[in-house]
Amino acid sequence: MNKRIQSRMNRLMRRIGIAASNQFTADYLKPDASVLSAIFDAQWYQQEGGENLEEYLEEGWRAGHDPGPLFSTRWYLERYPDVVALDVCPLLHFLAAGVRNGYDPNPFFSAWWYTRVNPDLRGSQQFPFLHYLNFGAAEGRPPGPLFDPQWYCTVHPEVAIKDAVGHYRKTGWRSGDSPHPLFDVGWYQTAYPGAGPGRDPVEHYLLGGWAEGHRPNPLFYPPWYQEQYPDGRWLEPLTHYVVAGQYQGYPPSVLFDEVYYRKTCGELEMTDNAFSHYLDKGSRKGFDPHPMFDGRWYQSQWTAGDAEFKQLSPIGHYLLFGYKHHCNPSALFDSRWYQESLAGLADTGLDPLEHYLMFGQEDGRAAFPRESLVLPTQAVDKSRYSDWLIPSLMIMKGEML
């Protein structure tokens, strides 16, 4: 088998114009049985409907099958259209040229990032993916900025850390599990049911979903992030926030007020990422991301059933359903009134609260009419706002605070 595979590789190299003597100067670059067997998973491939390695190299890749959890055929062909033009098996292309040129074999491995965060690779002749294959996965090193194996295995303690990516790609996303605290797979599947049905949401997001304005979690809006931080336009927005923005102090969302969250949450260390904490733990514990969103208040106003609350955080529910039914996010904001007072709001694609925080507040627009949103029979948790600065225009008749 190895001779036949080597023959295929040689034909591929001739097709893409690379001399074998120049391309393969070290043993670890040769497509020998150890490299192929580490990528090809026979059980995985058979579950996809394939037969064996040779069948994948010949026809299986054309059907979109993956040879194993670490190589995504569809990802590779869509991410690198130059490979499509060659009409060659993408796995062989990856081994012959992609590894050398920094191509990524799946949505979760990033060659440049892996080198950046692993200084022991600098100056090494070992290419990043092969290091990950041989050492990194077993050591629990993250393969890329949007996959956190340590975090994933706390959710799935039955999974060995070296198998975390494979578990996620095989069953995780299908069960609504997330690969990283900042990417909410359940949210993405609920918010965008037509976005690549039967496809890993992270893959869909990275291959174009973000450019269409799809959110990887309820609070992170890619167009806003790029508009706010043009220096990050060289990267997909969420990836930029993970690798650079969070360390530069960039607020990730108008719906997340870090100062407010730290004050009201009270269980974060200063070194903790507050945004990640909220998405991972805080929302489930009943903490709110912004003083103008009160999860308990919102849920008390929602009267159309609570089935969705089992899958979505209160603010996620508001963004998908609540504002469309004019359900207010807190006693500080009147969604119906704001929407009706602003012509063209529907054309922006933003919910009323988000529009207010992005534009309305700066333009001097009010968040509610002069009448109080609080009825005499409705109680407001005053402690929620104690010692917290609320703009004077938002204090309703002096009755609430």
Predicted pLDDT at 67? 94
pLDDT(379) > 70? no
Euclidean distance between CA atoms 217 and 360, whole angstroms: 23
CA dist., res. 67 & res. 81, Å (int) = 20
Q: Locate tokens 């799946």: which residue?
A: 106
- The answer to whether residue 46 is domain-embedded is yes
Do 101 and 15 share a structural domain? yes
**Does residue 125 form part of some domain?**
no
Instruction: Verify that 301 and 244 share a domain, yes or no.
Output: no
Q: Buried b / exposed e across 211-237, counting CB within 10 Å, b at 16+?
A: eeebbbbbbbbbebbbebbeebeebbb
List CB contacts of 142: < 8 A, sequence separation 6 or more: 117, 148, 149, 150
Report residue 358 CA to chain centroid gap.
Answer: 22
Side chain identity, residue 3:
K
Instruction: Give 144's strand partners.
Output: 147
**Cα distance between residue 285 and residue 307, in whole Å:** 18
Say if residue 95 is in the same domain as residue 20. Answer: yes
- 368 and 304 within one domain: yes
Q: Dump pLDDT digits (tens) for 79-123.
A: 999 999 888 899 988 988 888 889 999 999 999 999 999 999 887
d(CA 92, CA 374): 65
pLDDT category at 395 given cuts 50, 70, 90 is very low
* Contact by Cβ (8 Å): 328, 373: yes
Q: What percent of the chain shows pLDDT beyond 90?
A: 59
Q: Do residue 375 and residue 298 come from a single domain?
A: yes
Does 373 map to a domain? yes
What are the DSSP calls for 301-342, one per residue?
H--S-SGGGGTS-HHHHHHHTGGGGT--SBTTB-HHHHHHHS
CA distance 350 to 323: 10
CB 314, CB 287: distance < 8 Å? no
What is the span of the domain harbouring residue 359? Answer: 294-394
Beta carbons of 93 and 86 less than 8 angstroms apart = yes
| Domain end point (choices 106, 139, 166) | 106
Cα 305 off chain centre by: 29
Contact between residue 357 and residue 384 where contact means Cβ atoms under 8 Å apart: no
In a shared domain, residues 242 and 316: no
Among 106, 134, 149, identify where a domain stops: 106
Q: What single DSSP character describes residue 206?
A: I
Number of domains in the chain: 3
pLDDT one-digit tens code per residue, 177-223: 999 999 999 999 999 998 877 889 999 999 999 999 999 999 999 99
For residue 401, what pLDDT band results from cuts at 50, 70 and 90? very low
113 with 95: CB under 8 angstroms?
Answer: no
Domain-embedded: residue 315: yes
Same-domain check for residues 247 and 299:
no
Q: Which of 153-167, 170-184, 320-334, 384-398 has the lowest mean pLDDT?
A: 384-398
- Mean pLDDT within 362-378: 67
Answer with the one of 71, 106, 141 that is the final residue of a domain.
Answer: 106
If asked whether residues 238 and 319 sit together in one domain, one would say: no
Residues 8 and 101 in one domain: yes
In this structure, are 388 and 327 located in the same domain? yes
Could you tell me if residue 269 is inside a domain? no
Residue 170 lies in a domain: no
* Across 5-17, average pLDDT: 64
Planar angle of CA 324, 327, 332, nearest 5 degrees:
125
Whether 300 and 361 share a structural domain: yes
Start-to-end Cα distance in the chain: 77
Residue 333: beta bridge partners? 330
**Nearest CA-CA partner of 61 in 85, 42, 77, 39:** 77
- How high does pLDDT run on average in the chain? 85
Is the same domain home to 16 and 77?
yes
Per-residue tokens: 14: 């001739």
pTM above 0.95, yes or no: no
Tell me whether residue 86 is exposed, middle or buried, using C-beta atoms within 10 angstroms of its C-beta: 0 to 12, 13 to 18, 19 or more.
Answer: middle
Note whether residue 287 is domain-resident: no
Residue 166 within any structural domain of the chain: no
Backbone angles phi, psi at 352, to 5 degrees: -60, -45
